[in-house]
Amino acid sequence: MNSLEREFHTQNRHKLLDQIDNGDTVILFSANMPSRNANQFFHYRQNSDVLYYSGIRQEETILLLHKKSTTEAEEYAFVIEPTEHINVWTGIKLTKAEVSDISGIANVEYLNRFDCIADEIINSNKGRIYLSFGNNIRKTEYINFRQETWKKLHSNLEFNDIDPITTTLRLQKSDYEIGCIREAIRITKHAFAEVNKIIRPDIHEYEIEAEFYKQIRQSGCDGFAYQPVISSGSNNCILQSINNQGICHDGDLLIMDVGAEYKGYAADITRTIPVNGNFSPRQKQVYDEIMSIQRQIKQYYIPGSSIDRIHSEFENLMLEAQQRLELVTKNEIAHQESVHATVKRNSPHLCSHFIGLDVHDVGNRHTTLKNGMVLSCEPAIYIPKEGFGIRIETDILVGEKPIDLGEE
């Protein structure tokens, strides 16, 4: 861990503590270890907030941040004690010194000290206690087992949600974060270039996925930022088709939605290409409309805008495109319930989302855009009756002159 990264995580904690009152305490629990079977867990990925405030990727980690005064704070990291048994069976765990070096947190203790130290700090202060209530932007049901167990043991306490503060901090990316996202994009683009060399009729979607994984892992990344979507033919019209079992036939279009994860930060890139190397006239007509829409909506990734505004502009452009593509008649438009309802038939998802530590990062469609925010730009159209869809996605850095990070 270099000093730049350690300073980044240290500054993040300082910014968090600046937003709470003297006497308040923040406790953040690492993500669960999901079991794959009796002998193994799924590949572990750290809770994004724990990663943001500490840089510690190891499972079974707890952060405790207590603001004593405007100028003084207590910071603790609690981690697994590296025993010989653990080191032999599941791998070498971080030492206290290594945790401190990674995070910049001076007080590092083993997990068996957490309850004692946390209770002492909480009982000797009358400040608020903050936990993370949401853990993900979509508020999908997620139970952090260690956090829930601890809360039940302290049912007499009142807990506050730290997520609104963390969301605000994570939305605007630092130069360090933008650099990580740029590198994730660079690695992903290189993988696309290599994968394009093997695409041919009769190749399986999983072969393409495997080549992406090879290229991304060879570049030093942990792996994918999300489960890739490799969908050919009619599978194009399944928005999150992650089975990747189909065969790419001559004449099919192939959607590849893939992103590398670099130091915890995601890229999110989608390309649609003809399996045999040549668009049919109809496919090319639809493809050109999507590319034109993308070029036009990029200009709205500016401070003061929002995903709502970007998507509204997309829908207006898509309605015109649908007419040119003869997917909607003038009579239907005249009697339409709304532009949104008409466009949604063939373009059911938003054309943008925030990107960062999570591929669908914190923030929502109403969030006012500011310099340093990073979002996807992914206009798409799906035409099930014609057996194909097209989605093109790149990643945009918000600014007075938006920067397409996928074209650098």
Q: Give the integer Cα–Cα distance in Å for 174 and 205.
A: 36
229-255 residue pLDDT tens:
999 998 898 887 788 999 999 999 999
Q: Give the integer Cα–Cα distance in Å for 388 and 175.
A: 39
The arithmetic mean of pLDDT across residues 345-351, rounded, is 94
* Amino acid sitting at position 110: Y
Q: Which residues contact 248 (CB under 8 A, 6 or more apart)?
A: 199, 200, 201, 202, 203, 204, 205, 208, 232, 233, 254, 275
**Confidence category of residue 140, pLDDT binned at 50, 70, 90:** low
Do residues 63 and 27 lie in contact, with contact meaning Cβ atoms separated by under 8 Å?
yes
265-302 residue pLDDT tens:
999 999 999 999 999 999 999 999 999 999 999 999 99
Do residues 266 and 225 lie in contact, with contact meaning Cβ atoms separated by under 8 Å?
yes
Give residue 305's pLDDT: 98
The phi and psi torsions of 26 (rounded to 5 degrees) equal: -115, 130
This prediction has a pTM of 0.94
Do residues 273 and 388 lie in contact, with contact meaning Cβ atoms separated by under 8 Å?
no
Nearest alpha carbon to residue 272 among 389, 191, 106: 389
94-120 residue pLDDT tens:
999 999 999 999 999 999 999 999 999
**Confidence category of residue 64, pLDDT binned at 50, 70, 90:** very high
210-222 residue pLDDT tens:
999 999 999 989 8
**Confidence category of residue 135, pLDDT binned at 50, 70, 90:** low
The domains found in the chain, sorted by start residue, are 3-170 (3.40.350.10), 175-404 (3.90.230.10)
Half-sphere exposure of 7 (CA within 13 A, CB side): 6
